[in-house]
Chain A
Amino acid sequence: MNRREFLSASASVAASSAVSSAPPRGRADACIFLWLGGGMGQIDTFDPKAGGLNKGTPKKAGSLYDSIPTAVNGVRFCEHLARSARLADRMTAVRTVNHKVIDEHAFATNLVHTGRVTSGNVVYPSIGSVVAHERGAASADVPPYILIGYPNVSRGPGFLGSRAGYVYLTETTSGPAGFSRPADVSEQRAAERRRLLEATGTRAAPGSSVAEYESAQAEAARLAGPDFLKHFDLKTETADLRESYGGEFGQRCLLARRLVEAGVRFVEVSHNLNFLNGTGWDVHNEGINNQHLLIRELDTALAALIRDLETRKRLDRTLVVVGTEFGRPPEFDGGGGRGHQGTAFSLLLAGGGLKHRGAHGVTDDLGKTIVKDPVSLPDFHATIHASLGIDPRKELFDGPRPVPITDGGTPVAALMS
């Protein structure tokens, strides 16, 4: 744990040292952050190793599935990632992400979202909120940050305040909370309501807090209209395209693409469909039996998203990230599933104008320890920020306290063009 949040002098350090140290700035203008809650096992997905045995005695540590070659020479993925493997040259599995938290999902989730350990003195913003805060929405008609998943503090704005927070929806059909009107309120009825609201009370004095609230009201009424909600209507896409994305998770990814096109800067998409295997990515014991279904669902959606973005000439400007709170060890538990492993695991970056290489960083024969090119969470965050043209060393302010965007992170040089 390290709390160098206030490195107030770091800017002057940068200024006084060589100009070349200015961080690289990428060209991406949006980010789709896929969240695999529970802890995606790198050894069964993007960092495959020799095969293991998870049932019977004795068990043998190793990958549960065969690996296959990818579009990048020498880089292999698990067999259930066949579609993504063909697109491996548009992505990089960062195989050497690491942290020290393994016991608690919420703690590690917070760490991967904020890039920092909780201190009790500062509530750190999520990466989505930092991006929203730094770059705002690309269009005035949409919010900068949308979450498709359940609200929680790790996804929140922390000290940046609610302007950097998300608008969320829990499923593609539920509509964004606060902006989809109840079913029995037609456009006409909404207009009547606005008329009545206009007629209530006296108009606020300009400059007063009431006036500010009333202008937010007008803005809310505008956003809740069809112009905003049309982005959530997936039926306007062709049936072929929708099907290519797969099930609910894929539909979320498709929605994310639409939102990004509409000007949303950061979309977090949670893959929480634990019905496929009971426990989602948290594959302890029997939860692992159907893990391949989850992997295939991810594969279908991820590949469709990358292809779709590419077709629409947005891939270079849209950074796709696959995040998860930790990886899983090569060994198996009593039920043939896997525990948690934070010391080495894979997160994925795709598109966003980065110099992709299929994979970055090397772990040992069992994916337990890092052999080459470790990437800390601050570095990983810095890479995302750099891709989005945000200076990872910039200071934000928690009241009077300066807090750099990342905790001393440096973008992964090999990925920066």
Chain B
Amino acid sequence: MAFCCLVFLLPSVARAQNDATSIEKPVAQWRFEEPGEPGVTNERRKFLEAGPRLPTYPAFTASNQSMSFAGDRPAITIREADLPQARLRFTLNDSITIEAWVKVADLSNGSYAYLIGKGRNQRPGFPEKNQNYALRLKGENDEARISFLFASEPGGGKAADWHRWTSSTGFNTAGWHHVAIVYTFGKPESIHGYIDGASVKGTWDMGGATPRAPVADADDLTLGSGNGGGAGNTFRGWLDHVTLWRSALPDDVLRNRYQFIPPPPVVKRSDLPKGDVLVQLCESGLPNRNAWPDPPPPATEQYREPCFGFFEVPHKYVDTGVRGDRPNPYLLRAAATVPIPAGRHRILLRGRGAARLYFDNKLLLTTPFPPTDSSGHGSVRTVESYLNLGPDFRFAPPGNRESWTTFESNGGESLVVLETIVGNHLGNGRRRPELGETVVAISIAGQESWRLLAPGSRVVPYTDAGWAAYESERREHSNRVNAASRAAKRNEHATYWTRRRVEADRWLATTADERVPPLPAGAPAFNPIDHFLAAKREQHRQQAAAPAGAIDFHRQVQPLLEAKCLACHAGEQAKGGLQLNSRATAIVGGKNDGPAVVPGKPAASALLARVKSTDEDVMPPKGGKLTANEIRLLEMWIQEGAHWPELNANHTTFTPLADDLTFVRRVTLDTVGVVPTPEEIRAFLSDASPEKRSKLIDRLLSDPRWADHWMGYWLDVLAENPNIINPTLNNTGPFRWWLYESFRDNKPMDLFVTELMRMRGSVRFGGPAGFGVASQNDVPMAMKGTVISSAFLGVEMKCARCHDAPAHVSTQRDLFQLAALLEAKPVTLPATSTVALGAVQEGGRKPLIRVTLKPGSNVTGKWPFTRFVAEELGSKLAEEPGDPRDVLAALITAPQNERFAQVMANRVWKRLMGRGIVEPVDDWERGRPSHPEMLRWLGREFVRGGYDLKRLTRVILTSHAYQRAADPQLKETPVLFTAPARRRLAAEQIVDSLFQAAGKPFVVEEASLDIDGVRELGSSITLGQPRRSWMLTSTSNERDRPSLSLPRTQMVTDVLQAFGWRASRQDPLTVREAEANVLQPAILQNGPVGLWVTRLSDDHGITSAALSAGSVDSLLDDVFLRTLTRRPTDAERRTYREYLQPGFADRVRPAPSKPPVKRQPEPYVSWSNHLHPEANAIMIERGERARRGDPPTERLDPDWRSRLEDVLWAVLNSSEFVFRP
């Protein structure tokens, strides 16, 4: 228990006593006020900082200064010649008093920091043991003890020896303290130490007490370091009034030296809300090192909480409401008046940062600053090392420090103030500003249990369960608080965004709307989408009715063109100007040969001439000639008239509306990413309203899980790629949190794009600034340019990173112009981003790619997409016309830039309908829209709706097209959107649905390899406790160490990865690999996740269903509804009933009376201790435990239970489960 010694003195008495006018003059003194003090150069005076001051330290003036010391600045060295009048050497029978005012910034346990010492400077010409005298601080038990050291002079047959005296108590390192030592050489009993005016006991703990004389030579006197320097010897903190006396100052003088008037409480009782904890965040006034601020910093923000239990503070939002960073460190102060019954109670303080707890303005408890070690060489904590204060006492979580004491209350209210420093310094860097579990808890006299200290009637047991419930409740609360502050920040920009809406409306009004075509007879329609689709089908039917030849263009010719020609002969950049991607352009031909295709005249068609050529000009130029059969095919096709139907439509019949169960499963998966719960299904089925589907759609669109479902998609498209350990391989910051909040808020997509492009806010803690990072990339903004262009404009620029590509319009210059806009300054093309064409050209043929930009070229920012919208519009529309990023964002999102709205509409369309109107959705140069009119209509609808993603989604979901039954024969969605094809769910949908359907909690490790927060924030992050699979990331165990594994996470990501999820997202991706492979069913059938969701443990959802089921049939109904959103077919029912009926009646077992488990803390493994041998063993064991899964429930007969598990296994592993209906 660390009560600070507080001495109360009247200021008037105090002042005189600190003046060195009594007794005699000191040998030397450093007051750090006027220039010219010995050894204190002008250079050194740059490090003067505030010293002890009025009114807290009444011996000093209100402007008093002190000298700061740290390892990175020189100590103060005084040569004897600097003080010619003073005798700095002390010898036998001399009395010495050394005193100093000291404030510690950082003192490692075990180190001896020199305040002042003569000799032992490791200077050449002096013996190793030549310490005349020294006063040092020793770190022990996180407090500072005083230590006196000298070396005895060799002689009388004795070598020089050390003599060290150290106090057996010390001071808590917050604030200013006075320390002093008195000694008469030759008289070992004369040693006396003082801390803050109190005499302290101590022992000669090295070399023993001695009557010998000290070594006295010409070596220097040093302040702030000694023994040649180094971290262990160097003082980190501040000194003032360092005084050296050639006498033993009297006891009463030294006892009265320390004068301290505690500062008035920064919170007054009258300021405190009744029954609540007032929380203040103080963002300014903290020292630039790990030290308590002095004076107490003012609050910059405040709010209320019910209890003294903190794990996070509200996020800071900047700009339009994007996550920003608070200064690091900042101070959190929590204060309340707390009624405490009479009696002696136990009080516990926990904190991740340094913390101190005051009761009625008396310092009651402290926790220290985090240790400075950030290496991986720490130890795995032993079970015994955990504080254990009761039968259900919650053990300290990783990275927390703690202390406890007892407190005697007379009854009545105490003023309780908790302060903690959030974040801290680590060398030149910082650690993550995290609260860990900052808690004040109380155990009332006579009770064993603990609860959070609270000013009101709220009782929160401080147990594992109690804390978990409280944390989850407060997290909900802070989500609401955060949402409100985002909204408030966004609202600050409302004027501008209103103007944008007005401009968009004006543009809509002045441009022609797309006419919704009349509905052909007999076609089904719920909304305009169905009109467009039916009209297109009608048009296709008429086209198809026209006479055609024997050759099927789309089946026979198109694949040939795609394989052999279109890589070069498509788009505006086509080789030789020849575009073979439409009949019209093929007939026009290129600039070299004239018409490539002359319908009916193979001999006149250049296409044929080229593929038949035996010369060097043969086509294709590489990769194998066409076979004779292929050439014959082309010949016949041209002979027949080069019939080239616009669409490759092989499916032209609209399927009927899907049934209700199919619809509810499909729409729930498509909006919130998981299968519907039985409650959701029943509510929908029992709704008699004709509008029930629309109502369901509206409910789902307002479901918060909407945001979860979009996450995987945008993380891929925007290549969010954080690494939980050292950033490498094109890593970004974790801007996922900004993404998530954007979808929670249903942010208009033009604002979304603008925020992304501005790249402001937090880099490392989830702001869009994290998007701006690309580690180990030579031109990050060029990389971002490729992401942005494909995401929002459907322009693929990957190739342009190094050269101009044959298949794409964009040149390398275009991309670097874009990069320069994002960089807000010209960008130089590095040699690493180009291609040496010399080798390529050797073959004689012109290379397909071109390099038109030389390495070293300086490229200025310029809008490269004038084909979409004119550059001048940008600065007219931008909120900040002087910011190139803002201008760029305005150009992309301007309503006049129809491409943006259409690309967004096409993305949503593809995600819901399984096929884009344009394919590929991220590279529009490779395809043409199948329904250009509908695409334009959707784009305008999107603009009209204020770029509202939910509104756009609603239009599609409410169409007949979306709600049609799937055609089971289809492999992919047909181009006329006549029926959906069943398609496999995304990885996240599968995993999240497995857990949800089973009712099994989703439990993985915190997504971090630094859970106790010891590493510098640039080298480790935490992605928090995942609750949905999008929150996972690569376990990043490149070091191959079991101790750095996250076994459960790995087991879940194995499943995700098999189904196309990427652990690392180095490049943007819109469409994941969807092909079936053997790993997918294998990992579900046999892997640990499959086991977790099919093993009927006590916490499994089907376990309780099985216990309460009235019959096998009702149980089967329930299982099928939960998993497949339907009832079993008769055949299924027969099979399963037969399997489960035996033993059903006797399945239930009495709840076992479990022997009490010995409760003990689970040792944790983190970066900080991962090199400890035990860490590997622990994590290997944890992996095995995860692989074994939770034990099965004992409430069910084992044989019957395992049969029910088999049923569950079969249903969850059925292809039906992983396919969208």
Closest A-chain residue to B1037, C-beta based? A150
Which residues from 428 to 487 on chain B have a C-beta closer than 8 Å to any C-beta of chain A? Answer: none
Which residues from 1003 to 1045 on chain B have a C-beta closer than 8 Å to any C-beta of chain A? Answer: 1034-1043, 1045
Task: List 7 contacting pairs A-B, 8 Å CB cutoff, sorted by A.
Answer: A1-B778, A107-B729, A121-B798, A121-B801, A220-B1079, A272-B1041, A400-B926
Interface centre among A120, A192, A279 (most CB of B within 10 A): A120
CB distance A196 to B1207 under 8 Å? Answer: yes
> B848 in the interface, Cβ–Cβ < 8 Å?
yes
Closest A-chain residue to B846, C-beta based? A9
CB distance B1206 to A189 under 8 Å? Answer: yes
Closest A-chain residue to B621, C-beta based? A12
> B783 in the interface, Cβ–Cβ < 8 Å?
yes
A11 to chain B: which residues have CB within 8 Å?
622-623
> A74 in the interface, Cβ–Cβ < 8 Å?
no
Which of B81-89, B177-185, B498-506, B1128-1136 sits within the interface? B1128-1136
> A364 in the interface, Cβ–Cβ < 8 Å?
no
Convert A138-158 into 0s and 1s, putting 1 for each residue whose CB lies closer than 8 angstroms to a CB of B: 000001000001111110000
CB distance B729 to A8 under 8 Å? Answer: no
Q: Given contacts A3-B801, A6-B835, A9-B841, are A150 and B1035 in contact (CB under 8 A)? A: yes
CB distance A16 to B844 under 8 Å? Answer: yes
Convert B180-207 into 0s and 1s, putting 1 for each residue whose CB lies closer than 8 angstroms to a CB of A: 0000000000000000000000000000
CB distance A215 to B1075 under 8 Å? Answer: no
> B971 in the interface, Cβ–Cβ < 8 Å?
yes
> B410 in the interface, Cβ–Cβ < 8 Å?
no
CB distance B1078 to A219 under 8 Å? Answer: yes
Which of A87-95, A202-210, A301-309, A338-346 sits within the interface? A202-210
> A247 in the interface, Cβ–Cβ < 8 Å?
no
CB distance A401 to B799 under 8 Å? Answer: yes
Which residue numbers of A lie inside 8 Å of B, CB to CB? 1-4, 6-13, 15-17, 35, 37-38, 104-107, 109-110, 117-123, 143, 149-154, 161-163, 165, 167, 170-171, 174, 177-185, 189, 192-193, 196-197, 199-201, 204-205, 207-210, 212-217, 219-221, 223-224, 270-272, 274-275, 278-280, 282, 400-401
Q: Give complex CA distance A6, B833 in Å.
A: 12
Q: Given contacts A106-B728, A196-B1135, A197-B1214, are A223 and B1078 in contact (CB under 8 A)? A: yes
A215 is contacted by which of B567, B1040, B1076, B1211 (Cβ under 8 Å)?
Answer: B1076
CB distance A272 to B1042 under 8 Å? Answer: yes
CB distance A220 to B1216 under 8 Å? Answer: no
CB distance A178 to B1206 under 8 Å? Answer: no
Quote the shortest CB–CB distance from A190 to chain B (angstroms): 9
CB distance B621 to A118 under 8 Å? Answer: no
> B1087 in the interface, Cβ–Cβ < 8 Å?
yes
CB distance A179 to B1082 under 8 Å? Answer: yes
A152 is contacted by which of B803, B1037, B1187 (Cβ under 8 Å)?
Answer: B1037
> B1057 in the interface, Cβ–Cβ < 8 Å?
yes
B1054 is contacted by which of A12, A177, A192, A196 (Cβ under 8 Å)?
Answer: A177
CB distance B1183 to A170 under 8 Å? Answer: yes
CB distance B832 to A1 under 8 Å? Answer: yes
CB distance B1057 to A9 under 8 Å? Answer: no
A178 is contacted by which of B1058, B1066, B1124 (Cβ under 8 Å)?
Answer: B1058
Which of B8-16, B626-634, B862-870, B978-986 sits within the interface? B978-986
> B1213 in the interface, Cβ–Cβ < 8 Å?
yes
CB distance A153 to B1039 under 8 Å? Answer: no
Closest A-chain residue to B1050, C-beta based? A151
Interface centre among A6, A119, A193 (most CB of B within 10 A): A119
B981 to chain A: which residues have CB within 8 Å?
208-209
Please give me the 7 A-B residue pairs with the lowest Cβ-Cβ distance, nearest first.
A272-B1040, A196-B1210, A220-B1082, A1-B832, A178-B1082, A178-B1083, A106-B1038
> B1073 in the interface, Cβ–Cβ < 8 Å?
yes
Closest B-chain residue to A123, C-beta based? B1066
Quote the shortest CB–CB distance from A173 to chain B (angstroms): 9
Which residue numbers of B lie inside 8 Å of A, CB to CB? 377, 567, 621-623, 719, 723, 725-726, 728-730, 774, 776-778, 783, 786, 798-799, 801-803, 807, 832-833, 835-836, 839-845, 847-849, 926, 968-972, 981-984, 1034-1043, 1045, 1050-1051, 1053-1054, 1057-1058, 1060, 1063-1064, 1066-1067, 1073-1083, 1085-1088, 1091, 1095, 1124, 1131-1132, 1135-1136, 1139, 1171, 1173, 1176-1177, 1180, 1183-1184, 1187-1189, 1202, 1206-1207, 1209-1211, 1213-1216, 1218-1219
Q: Given contacts A6-B799, A106-B1036, are A207 and B1085 in contact (CB under 8 A)? A: no
Quote the shortest CB–CB distance from A249 to chain B (angstroms): 11
CB distance B1034 to A152 under 8 Å? Answer: yes
CB distance B847 to A9 under 8 Å? Answer: yes
B972 to chain A: which residues have CB within 8 Å?
209
Closest A-chain residue to B1192, C-beta based? A184
Q: Give complex CA distance A365, B581 in Å.
A: 63
B1215 is contacted by which of A153, A210, A282 (Cβ under 8 Å)?
Answer: A210
CB distance B799 to A193 under 8 Å? Answer: no
CB distance A9 to B848 under 8 Å? Answer: yes
Quote the shortest CB–CB distance from A360 to chain B (angstroms): 26
CB distance B1076 to A152 under 8 Å? Answer: no
CB distance B801 to A280 under 8 Å? Answer: no
B1037 to chain A: which residues have CB within 8 Å?
150-152
Q: Given contacts A189-B1202, A224-B1082, are A401 and B798 in contact (CB under 8 A)? A: yes
A15 to chain B: which residues have CB within 8 Å?
843
A210 to chain B: which residues have CB within 8 Å?
968, 982, 1215, 1219
CB distance A217 to B832 under 8 Å? Answer: no
A177 is contacted by which of B783, B801, B1038, B1087 (Cβ under 8 Å)?
Answer: B1087
Q: Given contacts A183-B1188, A208-B969, are A9 and B1039 in contact (CB under 8 A)? A: no
B1187 to chain A: which residues have CB within 8 Å?
174
Closest A-chain residue to B920, C-beta based? A399
Closest B-chain residue to A166, C-beta based? B1079
Known pairs A177-B1087, A200-B1216. 13 more at Cβ < 8 A?
A: A7-B840, A8-B849, A9-B847, A121-B1067, A149-B1040, A165-B1057, A178-B1058, A178-B1086, A192-B1139, A201-B1216, A215-B1076, A220-B1085, A271-B1040
Quote the shortest CB–CB distance from A310 to chain B (angstroms): 28
Interface centre among A106, A151, A154, A192 (most CB of B within 10 A): A106
Q: Give complex CA distance A199, B1138 in Å.
A: 12
B1132 to chain A: which residues have CB within 8 Å?
199-201
B1206 to chain A: which residues have CB within 8 Å?
189, 192-193, 196
CB distance B1063 to A178 under 8 Å? Answer: no
Q: Give complex CA distance A16, B1213 in Å.
A: 54
Interface centre among A6, A183, A184, A201 (most CB of B within 10 A): A201
CB distance B969 to A205 under 8 Å? Answer: yes
Quote the shortest CB–CB distance from B1102 to chain A (angstroms): 15
CB distance A282 to B1039 under 8 Å? Answer: yes
Q: Give complex CA distance A104, B1135 in Å.
A: 57
Closest B-chain residue to A161, C-beta based? B1073
Q: Give complex CA distance A1, B848 in Å.
A: 23
CB distance A207 to B971 under 8 Å? Answer: yes
CB distance A280 to B1079 under 8 Å? Answer: no
B848 to chain A: which residues have CB within 8 Å?
8-9
Q: Give complex CA distance A274, B1037 in Å.
A: 13
CB distance B1041 to A13 under 8 Å? Answer: no
Quote the shortest CB–CB distance from A370 to chain B (angstroms): 22
Q: Give complex CA distance A150, B324 in Å.
A: 35
A165 to chain B: which residues have CB within 8 Å?
1057, 1079
A4 to chain B: which residues have CB within 8 Å?
835-836
Q: Given contacts A1-B832, A209-B971, are A200 and B1211 in contact (CB under 8 A)? A: yes
Closest B-chain residue to A37, C-beta based? B1040
CB distance A179 to B1086 under 8 Å? Answer: yes
Q: Give complex CA distance A4, B1050 in Å.
A: 34
A174 to chain B: which residues have CB within 8 Å?
1183-1184, 1187
CB distance A217 to B1081 under 8 Å? Answer: yes
A151 to chain B: which residues have CB within 8 Å?
1035, 1037, 1050, 1053-1054, 1057, 1063
Q: Give complex CA distance A221, B1213 in Å.
A: 11
